[in-house]
Amino acid sequence: MFQSFEVTARPEQGPPRLAKLRDLMTTLGIDGFLIPRADAHQGEYVSARDERLSWLTGFTGSAGFCVALQSNAGVFIDGRYRTQVKAQVADVFTPVPWPEVSMGAWLIEQLPDGGKVGFDPWLHTVAQMEQTRAILSDKGITLVQVENLVDAIWDDQPAPAMEPVKPHPLEFAGEAHHDKCVRLADTLRQAGQSSAVITLPDSICWLLNIRGADIPRNPIAQGFAILHADARVDLFMDAAKLNDVMDHLGPNVTVHAPNDFLDRLAGLTGAVRLDKTSVPVCVADAVGALAVWGDDPCALPKACKNPAEIAGSAEAHLRDGAAVVELLAWLDAQAPGTLSETQVVSQLEANRRRDNALQDISFETIAGTGPNGAIMHYRVTEDTDSRLEDGHLIVLDSGGQYLDGTTDITRTIAIGTPALEARQAFTRVLAGMIAMSRLRWPEGLAGRDIESIGRLPLWMAGQDFDHGLGHGVGAYLSVHEGPQRLSRVSTVPLQPGMILSNEPGYYREGAFGIRIENLIVVENAADLPGGDAHRAMLNWRTLTFAPIDRRLIVPEMLDAGARDWLNAYHAETFEKISPRLSPETASWLRDATRAL
């Protein structure tokens, strides 16, 4: 538990590794090779064996890719990582702002007509390749399938993950896995489909009520599955991992060796559903003409949590909130300049470990003070570990993986006396978080339709942030879960039972960072007193309870409705969390949750 599995290149390793890759490209007669941060299962997180991007470039972000050409090697990163990438990659790599610059457009600029770029068909989805090929088609640049060239030069590449799989108790899952299979199989029959191929590990774990540990911080097991229209499941996973779950899986789940997967796909009959946004190219090639495109059948049912999952998540958040409050009280008692970022991380993780239901943290804890706080996904190292000095802010983003739920919470805390500029920015971020928390909206709207609510106070001051307002969260599964999001590109309608984060922020490079995050669940909105409802409405219920630093709030910048919400939230935080605290911390919490 709590082990860190890092595979990264030091800056001096980047040039020789890239040179070896280019030599191999020359041997194969190709002009470039694509290195995504992906594995064959196409989830967001990867095991140590699949950390090819960080091994080659040094970049450790959770999203991005490299396009290595003979003359240039671009590392494509989105707005979350543009500060981080500068510090991590050697100068033989060129950061490229993505998605503003697409891979196809960059290749057209860098390569002559007739160029050939190799890719591993296990590591790219059908949708990704279709999009890029459409851009390149007029320029004569071709994408060709090759063996993975990074694997060929990575002499000490870790072995595949082989962690044991465990059953997920029905009291937390809320629905037997056989019932899930029957329910989803019915949707296949209604669509005239004989089967669906599932490659996302969290989908498989949700469907079969199992959990694993193949990916650090994520309780998932790597494998593939085929769900048939008669509710049978073919599971492609190493049998050595399944000793503890064979009885649990039952007779309707047949286990096969992972190496048999492509052969089984080639032998399917009837219409086979594939999700082109998550299925690797080689899987689609194996299915061939039988493929019909559709969503992963598990994605939406998994996102819409059942009552047991919601209740478990709510309870996990209360225990987790107590651990966070104990940390905040401890931190408040330390004089500025006496603590480092790593000490804060260690103390918070120690607090969480006291809960026997904790299985792991849900991601590497982010504790960034001063300028480090402006790095959105900052991870403290020996080289960057900084003291919490007077006037600093510290962004503390963390979470836990509990048997009954997954948590993710961010608080920004003042160290000593904060500057007025930081307090004003913090209050705008808080106003946006509160506005989203208070929102009710008509059924049928997606994240893109309401996301701007959480940005408006910042926009009015000419400020913004380069990450989405919120992501989906699993039920003792991945801390980042689709398909729902609060983002400008999310078209998935929000539905009751979906759990998302609500996390506006603001980042001043070289100075400070701010982020405030609660998890919230979609519910059917109650009728307003005396109201005549025009249409069905939805609203949020907050799951996360921990105080928001009153020292960073400029009260006159909040309207009456926002102040009332915050006062009510703080009162509820004290009511729910104080019985779980030591007497000294409960006394601290009473003061921290005083009304504005």
- Using one digit for the tens of pLDDT, what is the confidence trace for 310-319? 999 999 999 9
Q: 11-153 with 304-592: one CATH topology? A: no
- pLDDT grade for 4, boundaries at 50, 70 and 90: very low
Domain ranges across the chain:
11-153, 166-301, 304-592
pLDDT at 565: 98
User: Which residues neighbour 45 within 8 Å (Cβ) at sequence distance 6 or greater?
Assistant: 62, 215, 216, 217, 218, 478
Mean pLDDT lowest for which of 390-394, 446-450, 535-539? Answer: 535-539
- Among 565, 525, 561, 518, smallest CA distance to 543 is for 518
pLDDT in tens, 233-264: 999 999 999 999 999 999 999 999 999 999 99
Confidence of residue 6 (pLDDT cuts 50, 70, 90): low
Q: What is the mean pLDDT of residues 47-55?
A: 93
The per-residue pLDDT for range 287-340, each reduced to its tens digit, is 999 999 999 999 999 999 999 999 999 999 999 999 999 999 999 999 999 999
Mean pLDDT of 535-546: 96
Token pair, residue 56, equals 């080659």
Share of the chain above pLDDT 70, in %: 98
> 136 Cβ partners below 8 Å, 6+ apart?
104, 107, 108, 142, 143
Q: What mean pLDDT is predicted for residues 11-23?
A: 89
| pLDDT at position 2 | 40
pTM: 0.93
User: Tell me, what's the pLDDT at 1?
Assistant: 38
DSSP 125: B
Class (C level, CATH) for 304-592 = alpha beta
Q: Are 298 and 181 in contact (CB under 8 A)?
A: no
Q: Measured between alpha carbons, how far is 81 from 97 in angstroms, rounded to an integer?
A: 10
583/581 Cα distance (integer angstroms): 6
Q: Give 73 or 8, the one with higher predicted confidence.
A: 73
Average pLDDT over residues 534-543: 93
* Cα distance between residue 345 and residue 351, in whole Å: 10
Name the residue among 371, 349, 412 with its Cα closest to residue 552. Answer: 412
The SS3 call for residue 544 is: coil
Q: Are 460 and 560 within 8 A, CB to CB?
A: no
Question: What is the arithmetic mean of pLDDT over 41-45?
Answer: 87
Task: Enter the tokens of residue 504.
Answer: 């506006």
Q: Residue 157 CB: number of other CB atoms within 10 A?
A: 18
Separation of alpha carbons 553 and 550, rounded Å: 5
How much is the average pLDDT of 437-460? 98
Distance in angstroms (rounded) separating the CA atoms of residues 372 and 84? 10
Both tokens of 365, joined, read 């804890």
Asked whether residue 527 carries a pLDDT value surpassing 90, the answer given is no
Asked whether residue 591 carries a pLDDT value surpassing 60, the answer given is yes
Of the listed ranges 34-48, 359-373, 464-478, 536-550, the least confidently predicted one is: 34-48
> Would you state the pLDDT for residue 531?
61
d(C-alpha 33, C-alpha 120), whole Å: 9
pLDDT average, residue stretch 128-157: 92
**pLDDT on residue 88:** 80
* Main-chain dihedrals φ then ψ at residue 55, nearest 5 degrees: -60, -40
The pLDDT of 74-88, averaged and rounded, is 80
265-300: b or e for each residue (b if 16 or more CB lie within 10 Å)?
A: beebeebbbbbbbbbbbbbbebbeebbeebebbbbb
What CA–CA distances, in Å, run from 215 to 36, 42, 45, 208, 238? 17, 13, 7, 18, 15
The predicted pLDDT at position 290 comes to 98
Work out whether the CA dihedral 449, 455, 457, 460 comes out positive or negative.
Answer: negative
Confidence of residue 137 (pLDDT cuts 50, 70, 90): confident
Q: Quick one: pLDDT at residue 354?
A: 95
Contact 429, 514 (CB under 8 A): yes
Contact partners, residue 137, CB within 8 Å, separation at least 6: none
Indicate the average pLDDT of the chain. Answer: 94
Q: In the predicted model, what is the mean pLDDT of residues 482-489? A: 95
Nearest of 334, 341, 328, 509 to residue 410 by alpha carbon: 328
Query: Rg for the chain (alpha carbons), in Å?
Result: 24
In CATH terms, the fold of domain 166-301 is Creatine Amidinohydrolase; Chain A, domain 1 (3.40.350)
Distance CA 405, CA 40 (A): 27
In this predicted structure, the answer to whether residue 140 has a pLDDT above a threshold of 90 is no
Q: Could you tell me what percent of the chain has a pLDDT over 90?
A: 84
> For residue 249, what are the CA distances in angstroms to 41, 165, 242, 301, 564?
21, 11, 9, 20, 50
Once rounded to an integer, what is the mean pLDDT over residues 458-462? 98
Which two three-digit tokens encode residue 594?
């005083």
Answer whether residue 366 shows pLDDT above 50: yes
How far apart CA 264 and CA 296 sit, in angstroms, is 19
Max CA-CA distance within the chain?
76
Q: Using CA atoms, how far apart are residues 119 and 218, in angstroms rounded to an integer?
A: 27
Describe the strand order of the beta sheet including 409-414 as a list of residue ranges.
Answer: 366-369, 393-398, 409-414
502 forms bridges with which residues in the sheet? Answer: 518
Which of the four pLDDT bands, split at 50, 70 and 90, describes residue 478?
A: very high
| CB-CB contact of 172 with 308 (8 Å) | yes
Of 100-104, 277-281, 349-353, 486-490, the least confident: 100-104
pLDDT tens figures, 202-230: 999 999 999 999 998 999 999 999 999 99
Q: What is the dihedral of CA 141, 142, 147, 149, to 10 degrees?
A: 10
* pLDDT number for residue 89: 81
The amino acid at residue 129 is: M
Class of domain 11-153: alpha beta
